[in-house]
Structure 1
């Protein structure tokens, strides 16, 4: 009978610390960025002490934490932009002075939509649409700590806003984006179904946030001695290599100034002219 699949394997207390090891904070009260860490320091650095005792790690966030922290803001911004665009279209046909998107968004959280619309003295049709858009923006900018509640508010905001979609469409717009992140995550993250025994609820390794831990503070297994972290597992080689490759790609990309790109394009154009 085949063993259940897991991205990690168990490791003995006698095994040295290595790249791909999963660390768990002893203090349950640490932030989500330090609760579970994945060791990224290379094995050769451990072998030859090149790391000077500093173990470089990236956080392993629960799926809910990652989606709430990294993906929900993207969805929120897209949806808010739609409502702000509707407001600008209304105002463009009136004598309402130009108002920046930032100020509109702040205004929606400072006063009720009804009071704002009354101040703007809009016609009935425009007033109704503007009131709906402002209400939607206010709902979207409510920031709960729970992923399910946050999704519910984003759906509610779409249905309350200007030109609302059907209920199913409002749900799909949010939920399909979140589901898609599992199969096609951004280049700076990777989904892992489990990171150790009893840690099987689903996690994302977030590769853009770096933490360092002193090696003497890491216990290689359960210990009654005072340590900051204990090792609970090790990622299997294929997943370790995939994570390290993604980690490298995040920091390999180097943006160059626009002036350089303009000069580069000019040289390419001149060269093209010289060759024909």
Structure 2
């Protein structure tokens, strides 16, 4: 892994997080290049991370084993068409852009090995989870390389069909916002119950953190964890019954279906051509 040379096309927050994670895992800064139009951003990356930066995408990719595309989906086609002549046969391309499928990427870049991945924002704290899908041209070694890069900011899972990335987007890509919404709602409810805002905020945030850590570290599933803290006819039971009576599970299912449908819609809007 540390012998790889990686080029980042685009150096926003997610790219910088990945770069920071790779450096923390021992990758030499000299093996990482990034292209970025903002001079201020390039200076920051060189100063804080010690990597090579470029204004030209092709120059960034010159010696790369892996090219990671981290630009906005709306400009992906333009970036790929301009970059294609500079890429080498067999060079692995990883895209973290939502809504751009492998067929579109390969149409624009040539039929290179492409891995699509959907990270999420906790990657900024190296606590992310990414879903990955590999096109047919991707070798086993390249699959391992892609997973190692994304694992630098958390963990990763592979899906066997590309359309399942829409489900990954619905569950984990968009998922942090759902938990933020729950924390927000719990905080507001706590205030209405008489707590001051700071106390309600701290209680809701720390409860979410503790529950997530228990779910990740426990040797039993979350349904069992929930049952363990839900005494019959107790306070938790009263709240859970209220959630269920209001259709909590169907509401969550409808929300995630809406996110998955929108992910599929973006592919139709942004791909092709």
TM-score by length of 2: 0.31
Higher relative contact order (CA 8 A, sep 6+): 1
Over alpha carbons, which structure has the higher Rg?
Answer: 1
User: Taking structure 1 as the reference length, what is the TM-score of the superposition?
Assistant: 0.31
